[in-house]
Structure formats: structure tokens, C-alpha cells
Amino acid sequence: MNIFDRQSEGLLFQLQHIAHLGGLTESERFAHADTESVALMLEQAARFAQEHLVPLAEQGDLQGCRLENGRVLLPGNTREVWQQWCELGFPALSLPMEVDGLGFPRCVQSAVQELSDGANLAFGMLTITMRCATLALAQHHSSEEIQALLPGLASGALASTIAISEAQAGSDVGRILTSATQADDGSWRLTGSKLWISYADHDATDDTIHLVLARVPNGEIGTRGLGLFLVPGMKGPDGLQTNGISILRLEHKMGLHASPTCVMELQDSRGTLIGEPGRGLQALFAMMNPMRLAVAAQGAAVANSAALHALQYALDRPQGGHPLQPPRPIAEHPDVQRMLLEMFAQAELARAMSLRTAAMLDRAEALEGEPDAAQWQALGELLLPIAKTRNAEIGFQVASQGIQVLGGYGYTADYPIERMARDVRIASIYEGTSGIQALDFLKRKVGGDQGACLLQLLERITRETEGQQSAFSASLPSLCQLLKDALAALLQDELPAGHAEAGAYAFLQLSGLLIDAWNGHSLCCAASGTTAYEKRLLAALEHRAAALEEEARLWHRRTLQGLPEYRFAADDSH
């Protein structure tokens, strides 16, 4: 069974009705991304996922990566599959044409990513870092060195990493110790150790570049003393990186066994400063925001793939019924139906969250230079932490529910859902944990303009949904009011210290439920129920709508309850 063909139908439906692809193609920027071309692209990606990425995922999970004589070797025929994937142009799908990309909208890239990551999340990690690094470097294309690298990155011949974390500096990047000093020739030399670096070395490409955060001389303490540096690996004939870069070890992880997570050491490694000294974090955000959007697509990918695998198993697995009659497929049992409906509702809404966020950023790009562009950009950035956080968590939740549907078989390696659950668990940790995303949402995205952008979004939702009937229409006004009340409470000046921060995660979840209701409403209004996909979609969304307002009220209460009186202390460890 090729579940990815079935995913393509849903992706195209949502691209039309959530991302409004037709409206994007009216712009000169995306005129070539017509529905027919995108449909063919999804069909091609679905076929590649089934024929190449699924077998590689199974093999890669069992074999893992190896560190031999200083080199990282990927499992199976990863290099061959990567070259075939690149020949199809998928890694560069949404990269600007100015840097040899295909110039398709981000929402189309997210749709294709959902197909590839739903088949093989570890393989997709290589695509994400390459694409996002290219976007970051493209903003500094005046450098001759960077200009020379962009075609290789866009084609997939050159890989890239993002090197931030250190043993003492995880989310607290202001404590980074890796140092950069400027040489007499104007270049920089970097020394230090980095960990949690995905694909810091591998044999899928001939060389790798690293975007490294390091401390600049005479810089301020904290994040203002950091610079972002381009450090080429400069592999020699033996495959070893020669620019003072060595891989000390590979981490042994719960999942993503085919994606090497490396501890990397730099010793007097030559690098080029990107942007200005002391503004490394700002330069890095050009890469971090697309990566967070990619994580949202990862969550949607696993959720949808797991739901379809669980459905297929439930239809094929006969159990129960009258002892004198043949057993019935477990899909007919009410509790299994409940689980499947919950899985499909969450999966479809995660997909909608990913595509809606991407399309807002696409619209800003399509309207570049026009007055509305800034508002669409702000709306897209407002949704980014919600999309990253909720989709990452939903991906794991749906995969876990899928294991439950399969019962004992779900806990074995005979079926891919247990691997999906292990692989996607990291998504709510890397590229900013859920707690970090919640603080970013509250303090920067909402607090930065005192909630103005969020209130504009509520007005847009009210305007778009007014007068339309769906399973969500009755709860939308209540959800908008709950969010307004929570916003007003969190923006009070006289709140006790830590009170708003304690409610940040709940506030993000409350905001996400409103977006879910908006997306669910849009999907219900668009679905006619004439196809098997649309019938399943409507049933799942109606099931979800029944509980959504009650769940929102719980998150509203948690947003306002503030800090608990109890504090964990050293004595609690005894």
C-alpha cells in the first residue's frame, strides 16, 4: 500500500483551501506554481517516498551511522538516494531562483516535506539544514565566498549544519565559549567544541559547511558578544575535514538513528564572519525561522503517516465479534473508531497549521514592496512558535495513539509507527523547546506590540468566518473571547514576577486551539463529502469540534492561575 498517494490528495486539498494556492499563483513571484504542476510534483514525491525512502528508513533505523577513522558513514545507499532526490530538485523547491532554487512557495515545500518526512524523518533532516542555511547565506550574497557556495547548496552537492549548542550552553546560548579571533589576513579562526550537531559529517555529499555561533573578541557578555561564522569543512581525498574540524563521537539516541548527531571540535578553524560582530544571533534567525517552520511540517508528516498506517492495520486486523461468525476488522470497534477519528483530526489540523503559517509568509513575499506585505509577514511570524510547538507535540501524540491502535504489534519493529514515535519525539526539543517557544510567543510575538498583531488576527478570523456554518462556528466567538481575556490578563503591568511566564505555555496552547478551530471551520466549509477523503475529514473534524471549546477553557484557566506556591529545591532530590 502506498499511503503517500493517499496523503497527496489531502495535501492538494489543503493547499487549495487553507494555503489558497490559487491566490498565490496570481502573483508574479509564484505564477509558475499552478495547481497542475504542484499535483504532479506531489505525485512524484509520493512515489519516491514509497519506493526509496521507506526501505531506507527501515534499513537506516536498524544499522544506524558509524564513526570510523574520523569519518561518519551513513547507512545503506543513503548517498545514492540523496543524489536521486536532489536530481528531482526537491531540496531547492522553495529556494529563490536568484540562488538557483525553483522559487516555489513555502507551503508547497512543506507539502513535499510532509511526504518525505512521513516516510523517513532522518533523511529529511539533511534537506532541512541545507535549505535553511542557503536562505541565511543568501542574505549576505555580496561576499564572493558565499556566492561561490550557494549553487552547491541549492543543488544538494554541498551539505550544511548549524552549530550552536555546547555542553554548558544549550538553550542558554549566551554562555557559548567557542571563541573566534581575527587573523592578520582578515579571516577568523575558531576554537571550541559543539554538540548535538546533525550531519556534522557524513558521506552523502562531497563536502559540508558549518554555520557556527562563536564569541568575538572584546564582545559583551551574553548573546550580544556572539558572531555567526561560515566554516567550511574542506574535505581532503580521504574524506576527512581538514579545516581543523574533527568529529569526537556520535550520540546514541532514542530515535533518528540514520541521522548522525555529532560532537564536533574546532581547532583554529578558518571561518568567515556573516553579518556584524556581536549580532550573530540576529543573523542566525534567518535560518532558525525556516527551520521552525520545517519542524512544524515534520510533526504534520508523522501525524498523517501514522494515522494512515493505523487505519490500514485496523482495516486488515480481524478480532472480536460473535464466536460463530468470522471476526470483524478492529476498525469497526467503537473504541478503535474513536482513536482513529482523534488521530485523523489532529493530523489534518497539524497539516493545516503548517500550511497556513507557510502561506502567510508566502503571501508576504508575493506582496513584497506593497503595504500589506509587512502585515502578512507579522502574522506568519506570530504563528511560527504555535505551529512549531503544537505540531511537534501532535506528531508524537498521534504516533503514540497509533501504537495503541496496533496493540502489541505497535510496540514491535514489525510496523513503522514505533520508529516514527521515537524519531519525532525530538521535534519538541530541538530548534527551541516548547517552553522556549511559549516564552518567545508571549514576550516577543505578542508582547512586542502589546498584542496588536494577535488582535488583528482575531479580527481576520471573525471577518472570514462570520455567517458561515460548520461544526466549529458556534465555538469560534467563545474562543476569541477567551483569548482576548487571557491576553488582557497577561499584559497587565502589575502582575507578580514570573506570573506571565508561568502561563506562557498554556497561552500558546489556547492560541493554537483557536487557530485549529479556524482551520477546522475552513476545511468543513470546503469539504463537500463526495469523496472518501472528504467524508473521513468531516467525520474527524466534527468529532474534534465537540471537545475543543472545553479544552480551550482548561488552557484559559491554566493561563491565569500563575505560579504555584511550591518550589522545587535541592531537598527534593533525596
Backbone angles phi, psi at 526, to 5 degrees: -85, -30
User: Cα(226)–Cα(279) distance, rounded to whole angstroms?
Assistant: 6
Measured at the CA of 232, the angle between CA 229 and CA 235, to 5 degrees, comes to 160
The pLDDT score that the predictor gives to residue 386 is 99
Cα distance between residue 148 and residue 168, in whole Å: 35
Q: Are 367 and 373 in contact (CB under 8 A)?
A: yes
Q: Is the CB of residue 445 less than 8 Å from the CB of residue 457?
A: no
Taking the CA atoms of residue 253, residue 258, residue 259 and residue 265 in that order, the dihedral angle to the nearest 10 degrees is 70
- The pLDDT value recorded for residue 438 is 98
pLDDT by residue for the chain (574 residues), tens digit each? 678 988 999 999 999 999 999 999 999 999 999 999 999 999 999 999 999 999 999 999 999 999 999 999 999 999 999 999 999 999 999 999 988 999 999 999 999 999 999 999 999 999 999 999 998 888 876 678 888 899 999 999 999 999 999 999 988 999 999 999 999 888 899 999 999 999 999 999 999 999 999 999 988 889 999 999 999 998 888 888 889 999 999 999 999 999 999 999 999 999 999 989 999 988 888 888 899 999 999 999 999 999 999 999 999 999 988 888 899 999 999 999 999 999 999 999 999 999 999 999 999 999 998 999 999 999 999 999 999 999 999 999 999 999 999 999 999 999 999 999 999 999 999 999 999 999 999 999 999 999 999 999 999 999 999 999 999 999 999 999 999 999 999 998 778 888 899 999 999 999 999 999 999 999 999 999 899 999 999 999 999 999 999 999 999 999 998 877 777 877 766 6
Q: Are 5 and 13 in contact (CB under 8 A)?
A: no
Q: Do 65 and 266 contact (CB within 8 A), yes or no?
A: no
**Spacing of C-alpha 315 from chain mean position:** 30
Angle at 484 between CA 480 and CA 489, to 5 degrees: 150
| CA distances, 309 to each of 47, 92, 167, 347 (Å) | 17, 29, 38, 12
HSE-CB of 412 using CA atoms within 13 angstroms: 6
Close Cβ partners of 344 (under 8 Å, ≥ 6 residues apart)? 307, 311, 536, 537, 540
Q: Tell me, what amino acid is at 481?
A: Q
Cell numbers 478492529 correspond to 330
Give residue for cell 491566490: 23
Burial class of residue 494 in the structure, from the number of CB atoms within 10 Å of its CB (0-12 exposed, 13-18 middle, 19+ buried): exposed
- Among residues 114, 381, 431, 534, the one annotated as catalytic is 431
Q: For residue 445, what pLDDT is reported?
A: 97
Burial class, 542, CB count within 10 angstroms (exposed 0-12 / middle 13-18 / buried 19+): middle
Of 341, 349, 355, the residue nearest 307 (C-alpha)? 341
Supply angle C-alpha 365, 368, 372, rounded to 5.
95
* CA triple 521-527-531, angle to 5 deg: 150
Query: C-alpha cell of 504?
Result: 506562557
- Closest among 186, 184, 405, 194 to 307, alpha carbons compared: 405
What tens digit of pLDDT does each residue of 442-455 get?
A: 999 999 999 999 99
Provide the phi-psi class of 218: left if phi over 0, else alpha when psi is between -120 and 50, else beta: left
pLDDT of residue 456: 97
Of 214, 328, 230, 221, give the one whose Cα is nearest residue 272: 230
Closest CA to 422 of 396, 401, 388, 391: 396
Task: Out of 3.40.30.10, 1.10.940.10, 2.40.110.20, 3.90.1300.10, select the CATH number for domain 159-282.
Answer: 2.40.110.20
Looking at residue 567, its amino acid is R
Contact 334, 385 (CB under 8 A): no
pTM as predicted: 0.96
Determine the Cα–Cα distance for residues 352 and 369; give it in Å rounded to an integer: 27
CA dihedral 384, 387, 392, 397 (to 10 degrees): 160
Residue 431 falls in the annotated catalytic set:
yes
